[in-house]
Amino acid sequence: MNTPPLADWILKRVLPLGKRGESILGDLREEYRSNPSRAWYWKQTIVLGFRYLTHDSPQQRLTYPRSNVMWFELSSDLKTAFRNFLRAPGTSALIVFTLGFAIAAATIGFAFADLAILRGLPVDDTSKVVSVQVNDAQGSMSGAYRVSGADFLDYQARATTIEAAAAFRYGTAALIREGQSQTIGVAYATSDFFTAMGQRAFAGRVFVPGDDRPGAPPLVVLAHHYWQREMAGRGDAIGRTLQIGREHYTVAGIASPDIEFGNIAEVEMWLPLRIETSSQRDLRNLRFVARLKDGVSFEQAAAEMATIGAALSNQYPASNGGWSVRLVPVNDLVGGDSFWVVVALFLMSIGLLMAIATANVSNLVMVRTLARARELAVRTALGARKGRLVRQFLTEGMTLSIVAAALSLPLAYSVLQLVARLSSEKIFAQLQIDLHELSFVAMLALVCPVMFSLSPIRALARPDLRHVLAAGGSRGATALGRGRGVLVVLQVALAVILLTVSSLALRSMRELYAAPTGMQTSGVLLFGLEFNDAQYASVEEAHAAAIATRNGLAALAGVESIAMVNALPILGDQGSILLAIDGAVAPPNEARPTAVVTASSHDLDRTLGLRMLAGEWWRDGDANVAVVSSETARRYFGGADRAMGRRVSMTQGDHMLDARVVGVVNDIANTDRTELPPPRVWVPLDANTRRFTYLLRSANPASLPPSVRTVIAANAPAVPIESLQTFDDALAQAASSDYMIIGMLSGFAVLALVLASTGLFGVVSFTVAQRTAEFGTRLALGARAIDVANLVARDSAKLLAIGLSLGLAGGIGVGFTMKSVLFGLSPVDPLSLASVVALLSIVTITATALPAWRASRIDPVIALRSE
């Protein structure tokens, strides 16, 4: 039996050279023959390997040269490197911290970008999964593009290019545990959903064909995060029964965590979606994803779906006339244009920040090189090859950057944890440091030293280092310092770009959220209640409980008015639906009126402080009435006064609502605050509604929650209270992810500013030190202290001026490319630009003041003596 070849390979490399090592190997082989155990041989390899790697035998040190010269030199380079670090601990620490902070910031930025781009969509193969979207010629569906159940079944049955077609929709369900009801985020999906997305079960199974058929046993698939959080990841979860609403579901399996992305990440359970063939064709509420068959191109599938869409319009002109279908690659679904602008900004910030940090470190390394000019000159004179010195520099740089990278990881990790904790957006909880981020950090740690070692290496390439010896050290090395000014200009310019961009972004966002919403949200407390069918079998019972709760709340001291809505304006809007004005159905190819329809109780205007432009809000008990927003009146009725008394009809729940316009009210902002206010229609609450948001106006809303809980406990004991908070808090929470992202950008900019200013400070101090003799001479010849200080100040002003102009030009350039995300702000916003200039000037003055003061205090006698 032969010895393990890998173990032999290792042993040959660690054992001493010559007969000494060979005989040890021979001993091992001999013993192995009498006891052939590979495990034993490996153990001896490890024991001997460890021993001989950590203990040089005395003979080895004296008699045997290391066979591997490279290794020998590397260890000697490392030793020299450590000696050098210890010789200038301050500079070394500064380099490590500069790099560490920059790498940490870059890693954080990268983690955001990674989440957006690389972390990937919840599908296995982005080239095969498509979203199927429908729209009419006028784009009435703007942004929603959902299909109706009946249409979905037709597409599914007729398409031949599709391997799996699936429909799904998000919703909420009541999970009943020990008599307590809890609202959970669910998605209803047809049985092919997981197949279409290319996702497998983490444990158990996901839906298989047939699970969505009527009469099939009710199954639920748990989201991985829900299973982890609520069931502690226990294996016995599968097969358990959960009561959801009135039905009992068996847990079929756990979905793979790979599917948790974007909105899908908020789904806690997957329930089968059953589509009735008889479902309404114009009730378009399902998202449609499809997986192309192998060998089918995107264009082939798109053409086939378009043909089916056209056939459906001919077949059902009333519901499908004018509607067309298109396929969208799943890659294109992530975010809109502004999303990509933000991602690009992040990537640009990372790049600029790393460039600044590298320039800064490059400067510091050059200072060290100058201090070591003598050592290097001596080594060269003694015959050191240039390659050897270059390697020395790279080894030192690499060591520093590896230490910095090691420091940056915990820093980046804790910031990401903080972001996840502070932000209400669940998506940020997915920010993490894994293989992607680690490779990114490793890449930076390897590339940075090459960049910042370039300048000293270039200096080494000069043939006349011997002059340094003759000159006796510091002054002969002035030429080495050339180019440091260029680096500082570069840093200032890059910092200015970052500052400009982030201040534009910050100002733009503040404008955006400061714009009036159209409601008086301060003083409003809100919360959601769902009177589900598990607790309240009939809608009448649910409605009665809802009204009883409202009456109880209205009687509370301090409540000025109370209203109920089925969806909270701005934060909970359900998307636009089609309207018919005065009973006229627009011909298929004409613009169809759409509006965001909200059902509310009668005193919404008072509770939200809405302003009536014509007519008045309906009274309690009025039916078949509607209030339209000013935008609706302008667009579809030709003005507020002409809207009064007209008729508007729409689907509400499962029936058509035909309503008379009794009032016109002011506009309310869009969910996407950068968009114009949408047309809105307000109608009385539908008797089938089970889910309400309650709005309470009070002079002191913060004091209400305890009494609110008491009233709810009395009137609707098993109904959980959802997000009890003030309207303003809810709005701020919704904006928090935007603030988080802009905060990150601003953080990068501030770090860039700090780095650039330390760079500037370093260069100015260095120049002052170099010119000590010159300043001394000047002072001795009668120059005043202020003249010398001015001389120093002039130098840094020059650097600032060049850097600032380049940076402003760059910043404005970037500003124009991000114009699409600037809200009510020009890329050359004077306030933003002026504040950047002011900030930079203050920083420059601060960074210059100390060296300038020091220059003016030079004692001519000492300065001249040092010559």
Partner 1 sequence: MGRNFLGEFEQRVLLAILRCDANATPIEIRKEIARASGHDPSRGAFYTTLDRLEAKQLVRWTTEGGDAGRDGLPQRKFVVTPDGVKALRASRKALLELWNGLDEILSES
| Closer by beta carbon to partner 1, 22 or else 464 | 22
Q: How far apart are CA 803 and CA 494, in angstroms?
A: 8
Measured between alpha carbons, how far is 115 from 120 in angstroms, rounded to an integer?
7
Whether the Cβ atoms of residue 667 and residue 516 lie closer than 8 Å to each other: no
C-beta atoms surrounding 431 within 10 Å: 21
* Identity of the residue, 44 or 432, whose beta carbon is nearer to partner 1 in the bound complex: 44
- Which stretch in 27-35, 351-359, 491-499, 787-795 sits in contact with partner 1 by CB under 8 A? 27-35
Choices 55-63, 524-532, 589-597, 757-765 (CB under 8 A): range interacting with partner 1? 55-63
- If one asks whether residue 127 binds partner 1 (CB under 8 A), the answer comes out as no
Interatomic CA distance for residues 492 and 486, integer angstroms: 10
Interaction between residue 26 and partner 1 (CB under 8 A)? yes
Give which of 83, 766, 90, 95 is closest to 375, Cα–Cα: 83
Site for partner 1 contains 30 (CB under 8 A): yes
For the bound state, the minimum distance from the C-beta of residue 40 to partner 1, rounded and expressed in Å, comes to: 11
**Tokens in use for 350?**
């990372």
Span interacting with partner 1, options 45-53, 319-327, 441-449, 680-688, rule CB under 8 A: 45-53
Of 8 and 686, nearer to partner 1 (C-beta) is 8
What does the block give as tokens for 631? 């935008």
Contact (Cβ atoms closer than 8 angstroms) between residue 376 and residue 389: yes
Which residue lies nearer to partner 1 by CB, 23 or 439? 23
Establish if 763 lies at the interface with partner 1 (CB under 8 A): no
List beta partners, residue 131: 289, 328
What the block records as the tokens of 568 is 């909270």
Rounded least distance, CB 67 to partner 1, Å? 18
Total binding residues for partner 1 by CB under 8 A? 25
- Please identify, using beta-carbon distances, which residue of 26 and 558 lies nearer to partner 1: 26
Tell the smallest beta-carbon distance from residue 1 to partner 1 (Å). Answer: 12
SS3 192: coil
Count other Cβ atoms within 10 Å, centred on residue 846: 12
Min dist. Cβ of residue 31 to partner 1 (A): 6
- Closer residue to partner 1, CB minimum distance, 9 or 816: 9
Tell me: does residue 23 bind partner 1 (CB under 8 A): yes
Residue among 413, 116, 124, 421 at smallest CA distance from 261: 116
CB of 49 to partner 1, least distance (A): 8
Taking the C-alpha atoms of residue 129 and residue 291, their distance in angstroms, rounded to an integer, is: 5
3-state SS assignment for residue 137: coil
- Judged by CB under 8 A, does residue 29 bind partner 1? yes
State in angstroms the smallest separation of the CB of 9 from partner 1. Answer: 15
Residue nearer to partner 1 on the CB measure, 23 or 75 = 23
Q: Which is nearer to partner 1, 33 or 865 (CB)?
A: 33
27 near partner 1, judged by CB under 8 A: yes
Contact 815, 822 (CB under 8 A): yes
Closest to partner 1 by CB, 59 vs 182, is 59
Cα dist. 320→159, 325, 326, 589 in Å? 18, 11, 14, 11
Q: How far is the CB of 373 from partner 1 (least distance, A)?
A: 41
Instruction: Between 49 and 245, name the residue whose CB sits nearer to partner 1.
Output: 49
Q: Is residue 670 a contact residue for partner 1 (CB under 8 A)?
A: no
Q: Which of 153, 578, 676 is nearest to 323 (CA)?
A: 578
- Whichever of 61 and 655 has its CB closer to partner 1, that residue is 61
Asked whether position 25 contacts partner 1 by CB under 8 A, the answer is yes
Q: Between 46 and 555, whose beta carbon lies closer to partner 1?
A: 46
Q: Which of 9, 12, 13, 33 binds partner 1 (CB under 8 A)?
A: 33
The answer to whether 39 contacts partner 1 (rule: CB under 8 A) is no
Among 39, 55, 89, 830, binds partner 1 (CB under 8 A): 55
Least Å from the CB of residue 59 to partner 1? 6
Query: Scanning residues 3 to 22, which ones bind partner 1 (CB under 8 A)?
Result: 16, 19-20, 22
Of 42, 44, 722, 729, the one binding partner 1 by CB under 8 A: 44
By C-beta, is 33 or 246 nearer to partner 1? 33
Cα–Cα distance for residue pair 411/511, rounded to 1 Å: 32
For position 52 contacting partner 1 by CB under 8 A, the verdict is yes
Residue 74 CB, nearest distance to partner 1 (Å)?
A: 24
Instruction: Give the single-character DSSP code of 172.
Output: E
- In 423-471, which residue ranges form alpha helices assigned H by DSSP? 435-460, 466-471
> Taking CB under 8 A as the rule, does residue 50 contact partner 1?
yes
Q: Both tokens of residue 60? A: 């080895």
Tokens for 545, please give them.
Answer: 């409980």
Question: CA-to-CA distance for 426 and 720, rounded, in angstroms?
Answer: 21
Site string for partner 1, 59-78 (x = CB under 8 A): xx------------------
Q: Compute CA distances 803 → 378, 614, 810, whole Å.
A: 37, 58, 10
Residue span binding partner 1 (CB under 8 A) among the ranges 30-38, 100-108, 250-258, 757-765: 30-38
Name the phi and psi angles at 476, rounded to 5. -65, -15
SS (H, E, C) 773-791: HHHHHHHHCCCCHHHHHHH
Q: Which stretch binds partner 1 (CB under 8 A): 25-33, 329-337, 420-428, 450-458?
A: 25-33
- As measured in angstroms, the least distance from the Cβ of 12 to partner 1 is 11
CA distances from 27 to 32, 39, 727 (A): 8, 17, 81
Nearer to partner 1, 33 or 248 (CB): 33
Contact 281, 316 (CB under 8 A): yes
Shortest CB 755 distance to partner 1, Å = 49
- Tell me how far, at minimum, the Cβ of 772 lies from partner 1, in Å: 54
Only one of the segments 57-65, 363-371, 399-407, 723-731 lies at the binding site for partner 1 (rule: CB under 8 A); that segment is 57-65
Q: Which stretch binds partner 1 (CB under 8 A): 56-64, 286-294, 745-753, 854-862?
A: 56-64
CA distance 266 to 260: 8
Nearest-approach distance from CB 483 to partner 1, in angstroms:
52
Residue 57 makes contact with partner 1 by CB under 8 A: yes
Of 60 and 455, the one with the shorter C-beta distance to partner 1 is 60
Distance CA 771, CA 767 (A): 6
Q: Where are the alpha helices (DSSP H) in 461-514?
A: 466-471, 484-514
Strand partners, 134: 325
* Shortest distance (Å) from residue 62 CB to partner 1: 8
Q: By C-beta, is 47 or 842 nearer to partner 1?
A: 47
Q: Which residues, listed in sequence order, are joined to residue 168 by a DSSP beta bridge?
A: 189, 287
Nearer to partner 1, 51 or 177 (CB): 51
Q: How far is the CB of 38 from partner 1 (least distance, A)?
A: 16
Q: Provide the minimum distance between the beta carbon of 17 and partner 1 in the complex, in angstroms, as a whole number.
A: 13
Q: Residue 43 or 857: which CB sits closer to partner 1?
A: 43
24 binds partner 1, rule: CB under 8 A:
yes
Q: Which long-range contacts (CB under 8 A, 24 or more apart) does 370-379 make?
A: 370/474, 370/477, 370/480, 370/481, 371/88, 372/84, 373/465, 373/468, 373/473, 373/474, 373/476, 373/477, 373/480, 374/468, 374/469, 374/473, 376/460, 376/465, 376/468, 377/465, 377/466, 377/468, 377/469, 378/469
> How far is it, in rounded angstroms, from Cα 395 to Cα 399?
6
- Residues lying near partner 1 in the complex (CB under 8 A) are found at 16, 19-20, 22-31, 33, 44, 47-48, 50-52, 55, 57-60
